[in-house]
Structure 1
């Protein structure tokens, strides 16, 4: 009997609050505590320029590889991520201008194995992944051979107008 391939999901974590490092630690701990879930590789933390809404502190971002058991599906993982955000104090602003504004924690499902989802609640792969250096650079650290829509993550990153300087990402 052949071994089943290991399902791998990738989650982007971000925070730009005063205790951003502690928030990333807390989010990783909450992910590791999910039932039927194992933690895989974890990228370094990158400090990144804010996107869309520039008048805010820089973000701390990283990507976590998860190894979900058979009970998990993309939408159930998105629900768990939203629960973790709420547990850690994330409050979503009703103001559309602040959609990309400051946040204590952000947890986005980037990729869930080879599965695709067009469910508006859990679009997979993440619809803005290929345009975000703050997600692609750490994703490359944990999954250097990963392809998104048939294109290697490294090539998506090369297509962007961005610069990585040590642990800082400018875009």
Structure 2
């Protein structure tokens, strides 16, 4: 089995669904394609790059795919989930508001650089909104070197406004996800 790490974010509603509900729906879908998924807490994060938008809700997920799975198959599944929850890449602003964004941060130890996919994710180590939830889910991992590398990257970053969501928001998320 290949361990994958995904980063999820949402800051725009889709239909009657708010960002926390969209992330919950995405997690329910990810449970169908990942073995032994582990979900981080939710974090509220100031927008980066394109700042004239609502704060994001972010989280990370780790789980496993079959050894025969390709990162492109996973990417296709992720795009299907994003579209299911309202993402339309042709109509969005780069780094702008979106109903759902799912990034493959890591696909095992694969290093890949092709037009449609770069692994590990090229901006992972500059984003506290990815590193903090990933560090949280890796606490249960025995991979001390990985945790140390993430912690080291995180220490180098300026404050980015990443705050763990309140207990009320976490409980709402969990009640919708299970």
**Matched residue, 1:69:** 66
TM, length-normalised to structure 1: 0.84
CA distance, structure 2, for counterparts of residue 69 and residue 44 of structure 1: 26
**Matched residue, 1:3:** none
| More helix, by proportion | 2
- The secondary structure found in structure 2 opposite 1:41 is strand
CA distance, structure 2, for counterparts of residue 55 and residue 166 of structure 1: 19
1:146 and 1:87, CA in 2 relative to 1: closer, same or farther beyond 3 A?
A: farther
1:165 and 1:126, CA in 2 relative to 1: closer, same or farther beyond 3 A?
A: closer
Question: Which is bigger in relative contact order (C-alpha 8 A, separation at least 6)?
Answer: 2
Aligned residues: 157
Equivalent of residue 49 in structure 1, options 46, 51, 57: 46
1:94 and 1:152, CA in 2 relative to 1: closer, same or farther beyond 3 A?
A: same
Aligned-residue Cα RMSD (Å) equals 2.0
CA distance, structure 1, for counterparts of residue 161 and residue 2 of structure 2: 29
TM, length-normalised to structure 2: 0.80
1:121 and 1:163, CA in 2 relative to 1: closer, same or farther beyond 3 A?
A: closer
Q: Is it true that 1:22 corresponds to 2:21 in the alignment?
A: yes
Q: Runs of 4+ in structure 1 displaced over 4 angstroms?
A: 163-166
Structure 2 gap ranges (5+): 166-178
1:16 and 1:166, CA in 2 relative to 1: closer, same or farther beyond 3 A?
A: closer
**Matched residue, 1:38:** 35
**Matched residue, 2:146:** 147
Structure 1 gap ranges (5+): 1-5
**Matched residue, 2:159:** 162
